[in-house]
């Protein structure tokens, strides 16, 4: 089974860049999308259906903002829209699909880069998401939580850890949150297979950052330790250029 997670920074913009052609070349079984930036009626799901996918969308109340989705070639037994906390669900940040042997979440964590108000919102989200997952894991042990976490975990995950040590997304308390989250019983699937530096999933559009590979690794497939024996491969697909992020891949037996 092949799973892709991709912050597309606008699904309609990505589709205009031959995104479906790319999807068909990669041939995933499940796609987790973040930052779709569209209401359900603005997304042509017939295009996805023609290419074998069932589509489940959780959009923000605010148009053109945030939003997550899951595309799956296998129909889930249940889809959960949101996490039951209104201030996050209004921003379209979490969607979960339950299958027979596991559940997968597409999550779009808030950014705190615009200032203190949103950083406080982000820290609230981190605390509440931790509690939500800790409880959910008791009900559903086999979880895959895929998406844009908007946090680099370690110095290896960011191009300049010294100059960014006070930047949102690399603050000590955010990095500690990732460590604590992993300690709930999760595997950072990319680092499970790859300990090499200079592996990033997001680059600012400024300063020619992507061409210079001045990036951040902020997108993750966090996989329950109960699924460790099923992990086959994880990769960053940096050649895909539909967004300021690139997609990430895991394969499981």
Residues annotated as catalytic are 148
Dist. CA 253–CA 242, nearest whole Å: 28
How many residues in the chain? Answer: 253
Closest CA to 102 of 126, 76, 83: 76
Residue 23 tokens, joined: 């999807």
């Amino acid at each position: 089974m092949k799973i892709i997670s991709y912050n597309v920074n606008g699904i309609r913009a990505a589709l205009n860049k031959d995104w479906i052609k790319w999807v068909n070349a990669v041939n995933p079984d499940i796609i987790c999308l973040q930052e779709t930036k569209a209401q359900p009626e603005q997304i042509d799901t017939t295009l996805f259906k023609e290419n074998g996918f069932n589509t489940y969308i959780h959009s923000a109340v605010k148009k053109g903002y945030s939003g997550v989705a899951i595309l799956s070639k296998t129909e889930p037994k249940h889809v959960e829209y949101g996490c039951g906390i209104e201030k996050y669900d209004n921003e379209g940040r979490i969607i979960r699909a339950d299958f027979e042997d596991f559940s997968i979440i597409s999550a779009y964590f808030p950014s705190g880069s615009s200032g203190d108000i949103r950083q406080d919102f982000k820290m609230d989200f981190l605390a509440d998401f931790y509690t939500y997952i800790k409880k959910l894991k008791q009900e559903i042990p086999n979880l895959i939580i895929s998406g844009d976490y908007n946090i680099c975990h370690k110095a290896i995950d960011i191009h300049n850890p010294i100059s960014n040590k006070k930047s949102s997304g690399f603050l000590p308390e955010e990095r500690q949150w990732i460590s604590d989250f992993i300690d709930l019983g999760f595997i950072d699937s990319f680092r499970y297979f790859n300990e090499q530096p200079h592996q990033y999933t997001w680059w600012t559009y400024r300063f020619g950052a992507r061409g210079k590979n001045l990036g951040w690794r902020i997108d993750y497939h966090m996989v329950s330790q109960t699924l460790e024996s099923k992990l086959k491969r994880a990769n960053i697909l940096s050649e895909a250029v539909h967004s300021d992020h690139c997609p990430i891949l895991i394969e499981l037996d």
